[in-house]
Amino acid sequence: MTGYVFPESFVWGSATASYQIEGAATEDGRGRSIWDTYSHTPGRTLNGDTGDVAADHYHRWREDLGHIADLGLGAYRFSIAWPRVQPGGSGKFNQAGIDFYSRLVDGLLERGVRPVATMYHWDLPQELEDAGGWASRETALRFEEYAAGIVGALGDRVHTWTTLNEPWCSAYLGYASGVHAPGRTEPAAALAAVHHLNLAHGLAGRVVRETAPAADLSVTLNLHVIRPASDSEADRDAVRRIDALANRAFLGPMLDGAYPADLLTDTASVTDWSFVHDGDEKLIAVPLDVLGVNYYSSTLVRAWDGVSPRSDADGHGKSAATPWVAADDVDFLPQPGPYTAMGWNIDPEAFTELLLRLHREYPGQPLMITENGAAFDDVVSADGTIADDRRIDYLHRHIAAVADARAQGADVRGYFVWSLLDNFEWGYGYDRRFGIIRVDYDTQVRTWKQSAHWYKRLAATGRLEPATS
Ligand code: FCB
């Protein structure tokens, strides 16, 4: 692509999540979440890092809003911590928690920035996990109550309500491979979690439609672009199976109103899916104003022959248990580099492919890039600058990939860089830095990396210069 100018209506934003930046884990009545428990369990996170303090955003939110405004961004995607606004996950709401988000939303509006609020970015109240977590239908019902509370309080001051962030991770990493909270390794529970997260989305979506009709409704999915190692029928079938677990388990009920038949057959040895009740799928298919897409890297699979050494290089962390329920006969192959500090391959073409697939399969469904970005080992030079050329290059190539998809007809309305700030990167703790703004965790000083300056220029002009190589 030889340069591209995004229209003025294209939204430039940045994204964060509550547990990754807020800190203040025990302040103002906040309850505990599964991530508090998980990160405080020895051996679960790199260096034993926890989100207790994180980027201290709970106390520094005004300064952080200042950065968003200085960057000239039109939108900010943040998440609401369920245990901060409804400790325990049922019953009474915590006014201090609601006030925090209310001030944040007003602060964004005062600065002309659209608030895009995610209801659930993985911090489930621990009490609900103790009662079964996402493997239990009750959790979806509790989520509806929580949604009613926050939508009632913030309503259409929030421009876009996003029900869930990456339910794939919540279900499969949380309940099958256990590399995310709550750290369970129960394949049947993972599939039940898939459904109850989908159901939670439908129930909360209905709340938004009824309580804040002027607000946009969305959900954010981490869709996988899956390629076969060869053109053999077996490898192509491996793609189909992983596509069912990774993508169609969510796209199916949310956008087509039904689970794909092959998913149910593929997983029949694990569950009979009797947790799907009559009417659930219809409820889940609540119409979306925008579908949120998170993209970082691509996936390469082959049918496993049962004897050759496996790679299991799916990029989703190391565990003895697989996140890929009932797909032991599929192997994930290492991919050609270059890689980010996460070990994820850099593959912008796959991003274009994904957006075009969505455009083809769901014509008329507007799309929003709700996360894209890269971790690299940043170096602070003697004069304090952070020349993160590789991050700029990554962003440049991926935004060009979005431009390519748009040029071919995909209705992509905006782009949120992950992330505004360095933050607690889940199992990788503070070791992996995704921010366009550096956080010094000793002093909490924020410093713009070169990528922040670059992104500010892009947001101001909408003009993406051709990539240099
Ligand atoms: C996504 C998560 C986000 C962040 C990025 C790197 O899976 O939604 O919180 O950790 O990956």
Question: All domains of the chain, ordered by start, with CATH?
Answer: 4-464 (3.20.20.80)
**Any residues with CB less than 8 A from the CB of 386 and at least 6 apart, and which?**
378, 379, 380, 438, 447, 448, 449, 450
State which ligand 1 atom lies nearest to the alpha carbon of 166: 8
DSSP state of 125: B
Q: End-to-end CA distance of the chain, in Å?
A: 11
Distance from residue 343's CA to the centre of ligand 1 (Å): 14
State which ligand 1 atom lies nearest to the alpha carbon of 220: 8
CA distance 443 to 457: 28
Distance from residue 397's CA to the centre of ligand 1 (Å): 19
- In 107-136, which positions are buried (b, 16+ CB within 10 angstroms) versus exposed (e)? bbeeeebbbbbbbbbbbbbbbbbeeebbbb
Mutate to test the pocket of ligand 1, among 35, 123, 162, 166 (most ligand atoms within 8 A of CB): 166
Cβ neighbours of 391 (radius 10 Å):
28
Reduced to 3 states (helix: H, G, I; strand: E, B; else coil), residue 21 is: helix
Binding residues: 20, 121, 165, 296, 418, 425-426
Residue 405: per-residue pLDDT: 98
> Which residue numbers are catalytic?
166, 371
CA distance 236 to 297: 20
Residue 156: per-residue pLDDT: 86
The segments of the chain whose pLDDT lies below 70 read 1-2, 468-469
Which residue minimizes the CA distance to atom 9 of ligand 1? 17
Distance from residue 372's CA to the centre of ligand 1 (Å): 9
Pocket lining for ligand 1, CB < 6 angstroms: 17, 20, 165-166, 169, 222, 294, 371, 418, 425-426, 434
DSSP state of 466: P
CA distance 359 to 365: 7
Residue 34: per-residue pLDDT: 99
Residue 466: per-residue pLDDT: 83
Binding residues for substrate: 20, 121, 165, 296, 418, 425-426
Residue 468: per-residue pLDDT: 64
Distance from residue 47's CA to the centre of ligand 1 (Å): 19
Distance from residue 167's CA to the centre of ligand 1 (Å): 12
Q: What is the pTM of this model?
A: 0.98
Distance from residue 168's CA to the centre of ligand 1 (Å): 12
Which residue minimizes the CA distance to atom 4 of ligand 1? 425
Distance from residue 232's CA to the centre of ligand 1 (Å): 33
Longest dimension (CA), the chain: 63
* Strand 367-371 relative to strand 290-294, pairing: parallel
